[in-house]
Structure 1
Amino acid sequence: MGDEHAGAGRAEPENAELVRLLWGPHPKPTRGPRPKLDLDRIARAAIEIADSEGLAEVSMQRVAAQVGVTKMALYRYVPGKAELVALMVEAAIGPYPAAAEGGVRGDGWRERLEEWARRLIAAFLRHPWTLDATIGPRVPGPGELSWMEHVISALDGTGLTGAERMDAAVLLVSHARGIGQQARAAGPAGRPEAQLGAVLGELMRTHGERFPALTAALASAAGPGGQDQAWEFGLQRILDGLAVLIDQRARHPHDQRER
């Protein structure tokens, strides 16, 4: 999921083929040999490459070899890498799980947003390449949009405007993206805060007198439970801020700011 609000208006004509690939219908080729592939199999093959080697290693040639066809044969299904990456994102992220399971409608908005955010960062961590593939304006698929639908609908009845609900989603996505990027940079060992703390600790041993507040904070963070809390801390503070705003709207509904 990107950090921007979903693009407004109709898709540009040059995106028509991408919209068809993501949203259908998917007519079978009328010429040539009987199809051996489908879009899901192609996307899954590309995901396998990206998961193990990174998005940069995904190419039409590599995917064609993975599924056992020629590169030209693959083009009969997917016109290029941009369309392939869009199919990969849709298959990797998939529809919001609660939508398929029916959801837990008895939960309040905070519980629903918290679960949503945890599911999102889990998806980013399962497929780190999606951090790169979901940046900037692009055409989302129906599965990806079901995530946005869930977070927006979770805030129904809170008094927040539509734009504010979209902004809340952007905040949560941005937090998940930032922590996911740190985790990816930390490598298989994980624990990015601990790694940063170790580097800063070495520097503070020599230069700590110049940065007394930072030195004291690092010493405190070195204690039990002091590290690798950025995800949880940030998530709860975002939800706390939304709770304050929602409470204000409940007490002063006529002060709602139109956006």
Structure 2
Amino acid sequence: MVTDEDTAADGTIQLLWGLREGPTRGPKPVLSLERIAQAAVDLADAEGLAAVSMQRVAADLDFTKMSLYRYVTGKDELVAAMIDLAVGAPPTLADLPGSNWRPRIEAWVRLLGQTWEAHPWLPWVTMGDRVMGPNETGWTELSAAVLAETGLTVPERMSLARMLGGHVRATMSVSTAGTQPWVNRHQAALLREHADRYPTLRAMLDGEAAPPDNGRDFGLRLILDGVERLIADRKS
């Protein structure tokens, strides 16, 4: 039984993978999917994803909303096109530094983080079960190629890839990372007021400032040190 979800997924696949025919009637179109997606990306970068709508993007392009429907069926397809445009073409394996998997995967994590920081809405719209475009799939292919050098099993590599993506997501900027009581000044004031209930957290407020990368490098080092230890143990 074909569901509405299946139909939507098929439409997104056709859109992202260049399988959908463009408008054929009338004069040569002055709009394009890339131009529409770029306008939406610019809007999301400036004002957040909530500001993106078919009406607003059409207005920014000085076109009618109906003009956009010749290219995308609605906001879901628009966001899918935005994602693949924003992530951009991935680097190649030869672009990554080093001669083995660790410096290469460290570079991949750094580049992914830079991409997400440039488009802070990306980490949250790339969650869940959805169709990925060729650029985003290429980023995953690159990480898979690097991790294949580790000698880990396929399930282990898949788990590690998920872990690394989650680590980048969890260490985004303060405005998008998970809430921590030592970040928000109001929460910090509450910790000081109730120091008897939360003595360890209260003491942390007087310690060193949180790292500017929200602990990304530290966490990545721990993860990859553990992987290297696992590989070494198997060889011994």
**Fold match (TM-score > 0.5):** yes
Work out whether residues 18 and 83 of structure 1, in 8 Å CA contact, stay in contact via their aligned partners in 2: yes
Equivalent residue letter for 1:88: M
Distance change >3 Å, CA 104–CA 181, structure 1 → 2 = closer
Q: 2 CA distance for matches of 1:199 and 1:247?
A: 46
- 1:244 Cα deviation after fit: 1.7
1:103 to 95, 105, 122: 95
- Equivalent residue in structure 2 for 1:162, among 151, 154, 157: 154
Q: From the superposition, tell whether residues 24 and 183 of structure 1 become closer, same or farther in structure 2 (CA, over 3 Å).
A: same
What is the deviation of 1:185?
Answer: 6.4
Could you tell me whether the CA contact under 8 Å between 1:125 and 1:180 is conserved in 2?
yes
Q: Does 1:126 align with 2:123?
A: no
Instruction: Write the distance in 1 (CA, Å) between the matches of 2:101 and 2:219.
Output: 17
1:14 pairs with 2:8: yes
Identity of aligned residues (%): 43
Give the aligned length. Answer: 231
Aligned match of 2:45: 51
Q: Once the 2 structures are TM-superposed, how far is the Cα of residue 206 of structure 1 from its aligned partner? A: 3.5
Corresponding position: 1:76 with 2:70: yes
Q: What is the CA-CA distance between 1:198 and the residue it aligns to?
A: 5.1
Is this contact kept in 1: 2:9–2:130, CA < 8 A? no
Q: State the AA in 1 paired with 2:235.
A: A
- The answer to whether 1:42 aligns with 2:36 is yes
Deviation of residue 201 (structure 1)?
Answer: 5.0
Gaps of 5+ in 1: 1-10, 187-191, 252-259
1:5-56, Cα deviation, whole Å (9 max, x unpaired): xxxxxx9443222111111145332223321111111110001111111111
2:170 counterpart (178, 192, 196): 178
Q: Which runs of 5+ in 2 are unaligned?
A: none
Spell out, residue by residue over 1:133-154, the C-alpha distance to the aligned partner (whole angstroms, 9 max, x if none): 1111100011001111111111
* Shift in CA distance, 108/193, structure 1 to aligned 2, threshold 3 Å: farther
Taking CA–CA contacts closer than 8 Å with sequence separation of 6 or more, which of the two structures ends up with the larger relative contact order?
Answer: 1
> Does structure 2 retain, via aligned residues, the 8 Å contact 1:197–1:218?
no
1:31: which partner in 2? 25
Q: Deviations over 1:99-130 (max 9, x none)?
A: 2x842374321111111111111111111111
CA distance in 1, matches of 2:29, 2:188: 59
Q: TM-score, normalised by structure 2?
A: 0.86
* RMSD (Å) for aligned C-alpha atoms: 2.6
